[in-house]
């Protein structure tokens, strides 16, 4: 642990921003990319992940191997394990926690609601308890979600819009997370930054997300289900490329400001911030499918059905003025460009053979 999360270096040093970061959910999609980017610029990184089986555990193991080859060690453990967290904070004086561990996915909440309470509520509280007791207290940057805008129909969504009408249990737990983190900021002086990610996609992505499962099904000649809103309106998402999200996460860590407490006691006010991290250009799902068809050179078999009311919202669109102003956040990757990189990764990772439609790894 000491070796992989190197001691603090002075801010702005040539070797990086001098951070020592605990990344929870490090074997996840966003966690892998952020950990690699932090390591690349010379910051100390230690990962934590429970390697749950919500989706293909072999993909998480492959990400862990990739991280290991870049000198990032991932501890296998659960954020609900307070003793483990206390030990980690005891050994490493983390300056920051990048909290990405969560039960993600909107529809799965109807199958397994308890997993959302376990990771997104109880797990969050357990992590914040460890952070507030740590000396020094780290600054916390964590993943909320665009889903908190729920049934809000004012677009583009800005941070000041109402978030009191979640459309899924997942969204409700992220909204609760924003309120829980605010409490720890208020009572214990924890510096908190909540990031509302908008539909993140890219290489090493999540197999449960539409762009990924569509790619798999199109290549295997299986049908894909495309939801359409009521009144036959196409669903649209503000798809945001992973590298843009990573830049937003690192800028949030760099500007987080200090926590003001020690050993569970607040010494003064600490920053509490919330930012949208999106792409500001929503694309409809049929357009997403046609881009994939072009890159894969296979026509999709589409089943178009009305959205069944299972937690999805019809439209997301981020207003990113606040992040642009305070973080210098500026997404640069179009969906066309990002999907090209995703498809290239997908074909090389799964070893797709164009002639026989067989896969090495799926
Ligand atoms: P992911 O599922 O790939 O990563 C989450 C990781 O956390 C997984 O590796 C999982 O094993 C781990 N984990 C879950 N519960 C845990 C627990 N109790 N203890 C320890 N580890 C645990 O998801 P992702 O797409 O990388 O998302 C990262 C974060 O961003 C999540 O908080 C998610 O809710 C949020 N988010 C993601 C998106 C997106 O489009 N990918 C959009 C909005 C918000």
The 8-class DSSP code of residue 109 comes to: G
For ligand 1, say whether the CB of 101 is within 6 Å of any of its atoms: yes
Under-50 pLDDT residues of the chain: 1-15, 355-356, 362
Give the integer Cα–Cα distance in Å for 348 and 122.
38
Residue nearest to atom 30 of ligand 1 (CA): 143
CB 145 within 8 A of CB 99: no
Give the angle 201-95-196 at the CA atoms, nearest 5°: 30
For ligand 1, say whether the CB of 292 is within 6 Å of any of its atoms: no
Clarify whether 272 is annotated catalytic: no
Give the integer Cα–Cα distance in Å for 362 and 349.
10
Which residues 6+ apart lie within 8 Å of 314 measured at CB? 229, 233, 235, 236, 307
pLDDT for position 12 = 33
Measured CA to CA in angstroms, residue 319 lies from 120, 278, 279, 297 at distances of 25, 8, 9, 34
Q: What is the pTM of this model?
A: 0.95
Which residues 6+ apart lie within 8 Å of 328 measured at CB? 251
User: CA nearest 226: which of 308, 151, 147, 150?
Assistant: 308
For ligand 1, say whether the CB of 49 is within 6 Å of any of its atoms: yes
pLDDT for position 10 = 32
pLDDT in tens, 201-226: 999 999 999 999 999 999 999 999 99
- The rounded Å distance from CA 350 to ligand 1 centre is 22
- The rounded Å distance from CA 114 to ligand 1 centre is 16
Looking up tokens 């069944």, which residue turns up?
308
Give the integer Cα–Cα distance in Å for 98 and 250.
9
Give the integer Cα–Cα distance in Å for 188 and 88.
20
pLDDT for position 245 = 98
pLDDT in tens, 83-115: 999 999 999 999 999 999 999 999 999 999 999
- The rounded Å distance from CA 192 to ligand 1 centre is 18
Of the residues 170, 188, 241, 329, only one is catalytic, namely: 170
Give the integer Cα–Cα distance in Å for 246 and 329.
10
Q: Where are the alpha helices (DSSP H) in the chain?
A: 29-40, 57-69, 82-91, 113-116, 123-133, 169-188, 210-220, 242-254, 285-296, 321-327, 335-350
pLDDT for position 7 = 43
Give the integer Cα–Cα distance in Å for 247 and 257.
17
For ligand 1, say whether the CB of 206 is within 6 Å of any of its atoms: yes
For ligand 1, say whether the CB of 25 is within 6 Å of any of its atoms: yes
Q: 3-class DSSP state for residue 156?
A: coil
pLDDT for position 265 = 82
The atom of ligand 1 lying closest to the CA of 99 is 32
For ligand 1, say whether the CB of 276 is within 6 Å of any of its atoms: no
ipTM of the complex: 1.00
User: CA nearest 255: which of 66, 8, 12?
Assistant: 12
pLDDT for position 263 = 75
Give the integer Cα–Cα distance in Å for 63 and 82.
25
pLDDT for position 3 = 37
The partner residues of 140 in beta bridges, in order of sequence, read: 97, 192
Pocket test for ligand 1, best of 22, 25, 48, 88 (most atoms within 8 A of CB): 25
Q: What are phi and psi for residue 308, nearest 5 degrees?
A: -80, 5
For ligand 1, say whether the CB of 27 is within 6 Å of any of its atoms: yes
């Amino acid at each position: 642990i000491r070796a992989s999360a190197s001691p603090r270096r002075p801010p702005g040093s040539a070797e990086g921003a001098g951070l020592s970061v605990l990344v929870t959910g490090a074997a996840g999609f966003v966690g892998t990319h952020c950990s690699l980017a932090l390591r690349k610029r010379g910051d100390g990184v230690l990962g934590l992940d429970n390697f749950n089986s919500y989706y293909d555990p072999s993909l998480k193991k492959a990400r862990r191997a990739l991280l290991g080859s870049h000198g990032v060690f991932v501890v296998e453990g659960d954020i609900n394990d307070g003793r483990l967290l206390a030990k980690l904070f005891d050994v490493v004086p983390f300056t920051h926690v990048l909290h990405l561990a969560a039960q993600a996915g909107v529809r799965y909440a109807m199958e397994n609601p308890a997993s959302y309470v376990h990771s997104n509520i109880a797990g969050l509280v357990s992590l914040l308890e460890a952070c507030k007791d740590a000396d020094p207290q780290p600054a916390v940057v964590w993943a909320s979600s665009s889903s908190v805008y729920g049934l809000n129909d004012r677009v583009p969504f800005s941070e000041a819009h109402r978030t009191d009408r979640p459309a899924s249990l997942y969204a409700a737990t992220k909204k609760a997370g924003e309120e829980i983190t605010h409490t720890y900021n208020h009572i214990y002086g924890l510096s908190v930054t909540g990031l509302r990610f908008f539909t993140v996609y890219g290489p090493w992505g999540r197999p449960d997300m539409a762009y990924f499962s569509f790619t798999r099904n199109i290549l295997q000649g299986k049908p894909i289900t495309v939801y359409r809103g009521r009144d036959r309106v196409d669903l649209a998402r503000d798809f945001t490329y992973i590298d843009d999200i990573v830049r937003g996460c690192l800028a949030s860590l760099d500007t987080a400001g200090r926590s003001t407490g020690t050993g569970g006691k607040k010494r003064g006010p600490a920053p509490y911030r919330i930012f949208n991290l999106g792409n500001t250009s929503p694309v409809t799902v049929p357009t997403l499918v046609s881009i994939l068809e072009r890159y894969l050179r296979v026509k999709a078999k589409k089943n178009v059905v009305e959205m069944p009311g299972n937690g999805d919202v019809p439209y997301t669109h981020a207003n990113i003025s606040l992040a642009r102003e305070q973080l210098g956040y500026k997404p640069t990757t179009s969906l066309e460009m990002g999907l090209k990189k995703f498809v290239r990764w997908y074909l090389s990772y799964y070893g797709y053979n164009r002639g026989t439609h067989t896969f090495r790894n799926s």
